[in-house]
Structure 1
């Protein structure tokens, strides 16, 4: 019998989207429980460590988006075949997370003057620094981020791209053909393409 899965996250792509991509890739049916921002405060205390995303599988609760993705990656045969390959995937994912955090820090900055200063650094230094190196990494790995083959890290990257594009207000892969090709490759996987075609349209 297939496990009963429920993903609880905000009504955006954000950190929930890599999990949705992986569940879709694995053809695992799940309840996509989306929480509007204004409804989050009263729910926060009921969540483990007061945060989302939360994935429930047959009643067992999992938190921390990267840990959830790593777990699903292993279940779906998208993890490394040995410790070194797994480490390569983790290194790529942690680097992408660093990039996302820096971009998010700029995007969510409430002080407009500070935000403009952060924008200059993020767009002129941070994005080129990370994207140039990730672009080379994909080339070195035959079109993937690690181990020369499809991994959960590739799906993690492609799923976060839409969120990062929305935060940046442009396609961050446009000047990086290897990254653009990888994102396109993932988005055209049949099960993920199906998910993209029917997911709710959100800003982030």
Structure 2
């Protein structure tokens, strides 16, 4: 019997959330270890689990993997979510990295000083509507999935990202009918429908407590 996949991170979204989504797409169950104390992080450093002294950490197939892109690519390759050939893969990676950039912009708002948050949110909304969403609106014209006619890592991330955008900016997809239709189709897939239900391993929007624990664990700097 194969060993279960184990994710080590905080009890929140952050960079691990895309990994949770992709494992869900692959129908792979996983266990989670939540970091809540500085001592847990120090033990991981001391035993060599964190190659670059960073989380997320994913234990899979006898390996301890860090670096989000590497982890996502491994899961995508292992579970046939990375296209049929090298040309598909480069397109998938291109879309994936764009989505990771956009989701990173959304995540960073929590860490932005209060006085700058409104400006940051407005900038994010503008970039999403002018730079990112038009790309996916065009790519989904006349097709069900982004690349090669079948679901890939990029599709899973687009679903995740589109839901994040709607949380921050209700109605933002109103001018992007292809993206909205894509989201509606994807959320009806049983594995995703279950993941979106209360009580699943999907995490809620991060809050100040998530930020506080992250700072204390990683930097030993309690918030005032």
Instruction: Give CA deviations for 1:85-114 in whole Å, capped at 9, x if unaligned.
Output: 1000001011111212233334431141x2
Aligned partner of 2:66 in structure 1 is 63
Q: CA deviation at 1:169?
A: 4.6
Instruction: Give CA deviations for 1:1-58 in whole Å, capped at 9, x if unaligned.
Output: 23321012222233222222222232322103334xxx25443342512322211014
With the length of structure 2 as denominator, give the TM-score of the two structures: 0.76
Q: CA deviation at 1:172?
A: 4.1
Q: CA deviation at 1:164?
A: 4.1
Question: Quick check: which has more Rg, 1 or 2?
Answer: 2
Q: CA deviation at 1:151?
A: 0.9
Alignment map for 1:35-114 (pairs within 5 Å):
35=35, 39=36, 41-45=38-42, 46=44, 48=50, 49-112=52-115, 114=116
Aligned partner of 1:137 in structure 2 is 139
Instruction: Give CA deviations for 1:53-100 in whole Å, capped at 9, x if unaligned.
Output: 211014411112222122111111111211111000001011111212
* Structure 2 unpaired stretches of 5+: 207-224
* Structure 1 unpaired stretches of 5+: none
With the length of structure 1 as denominator, give the TM-score of the two structures: 0.82
The alignment of Structure 1 onto Structure 2 pairs a total of residues equal to 197
Change (3 A) 1:196 1:122: closer
CA–CA distance in 1 between the matches of 2:170 and 2:70? Answer: 29
Instruction: Give CA deviations for 1:137-166 in whole Å, capped at 9, x if unaligned.
Output: 2226x1322233211111122134444444
Residue 202 (structure 1) aligned to one of 201, 204, 208: 204
The alignment yields a C-alpha RMSD, in angstroms, of: 2.4
